[in-house]
Amino acid sequence: MNKPKGKIPSLLAQSTGKPAAHLCKRKSSCTRCKTHIIMNDNCFTIPKSTAGFTSHKPFCLECVKLIIDQTKKELSEIDDQLTAFYSNEK
Ligand SMILES: [Zn+2]
């Protein structure tokens, strides 16, 4: 196998993009639970593409935690499948 050049792609980076830590500049509310995010509060923005245009949606820390947990769960399922394929090859 040739060594590929460049950064290793991640699923997050290849889909809509990674959630980014963000200091709220103005009052907004969480996209998922509608909790108010006040000015200068920590939140995360998660890019979302709709009709070819990307908007950065704010999420509160609790929702980001849930989203990350869910992502980890799904990733570990894929990891288990991958491990199973590798062990079948031996
Ligand atoms: Zn929320």
pLDDT for residue 90: 67
In a domain, 21, yes or no: yes
Question: What is the residue type of 77?
Answer: E
The domain total for the chain is 1
- Of the pLDDT bands very low, low, confident and very high (cuts 50, 70, 90), residue 36 is very high
What Å distances lie between residue 29 and 8, 12, 35, 70, CA to CA? 34, 23, 5, 21
In a domain, 66, yes or no: yes
The CA 42 to ligand 1 mean position distance, Å, reads: 12
pLDDT for residue 71: 93
Whole-number percent of the chain with pLDDT over 90? 62
pLDDT for residue 53: 85
In a domain, 77, yes or no: yes
Tell me: pLDDT of 89 over 70: yes
Tell me: pLDDT of 68 over 70: yes
pLDDT for residue 62: 96
CATH number where 24 lies? 3.30.1740.10
State which residues have CB under 5 angstroms from ligand 1, the bound ion: 30, 32-33, 35, 60, 63
Q: Which residue has the tokens 């947990």?
A: 69
